[in-house]
Amino acid sequence: MIETPGQTIGPFFGFALPFAGDSQLVSPGQPSAVQFSGLVLDGDGVAVPDALIEIWQPDPDGRVVARTGSLRRDGFTFTGWGRAATDNSGRYSFSTLRPGGEAPFIAVTLFARGLLHRLFTRAYLPGYPPDRLLSALPEDRRRTLIARDEGSTLIFDIKLQGADETVFLGFDSSSD
């Protein structure tokens, strides 16, 4: 197998990837809607203004959603998937539901210039016992994966390098 980069140098995210309602997994006016938002920061703590974030998550009952139609938002069907670009201040935001389960989390993928491959991480809701992955991390690293709960907003900042770098997940490609 010949290795190739996961994306071409760009970024081209603003041209081809956004679509209507991409960051609204549910309507922001829905009573149970929460904002899932944060900043993407480089190793110096400077905002990354042209990153793209994708999220996958279970519904509030902890079930993985298996419905089609994520690219055609209808305003009420929760598909568990969304996409948001960062703005000029490095901020992203989604309108979604709180995920359920024993250790509820939102799976997060980051695309940005300078990255040959996307990065994977998780944003856990605070106040739940850790799962196997979270338990395997030292306490000081574990906190980089726990969102802050501010009522109707879950804050999850992503730091790409340096002190307090977000823990990113690796996947073994030898099983391909």
pLDDT digits (tens, 9 = 90+) for 36-88: 999 999 999 999 998 999 999 999 999 988 766 666 677 677 889 999 999 99
114 or 101, which is more confident? 101
Q: Return the sign of the alpha-carbon dihedral for residues 38, 41, 45, 49.
A: negative
Domains and CATH numbers, the chain: 13-159 (2.60.130.10)
One-character DSSP codes across 7-23: S-SS--HHHHS--TTTT
Lowest mean pLDDT among 3-7, 50-54, 127-131, 132-136: 3-7
Average pLDDT, the chain: 87
Question: Is the Cβ–Cβ distance between 131 and 102 less than 8 Å?
Answer: yes
Between the alpha carbon of residue 9 and those of residues 12, 28, 55, 116, 158, the distances in Å are: 8, 34, 22, 8, 21
Confidence of residue 112 (pLDDT cuts 50, 70, 90): confident
Query: What's residue 27's pLDDT?
Result: 87
Confidence of residue 130 (pLDDT cuts 50, 70, 90): very high
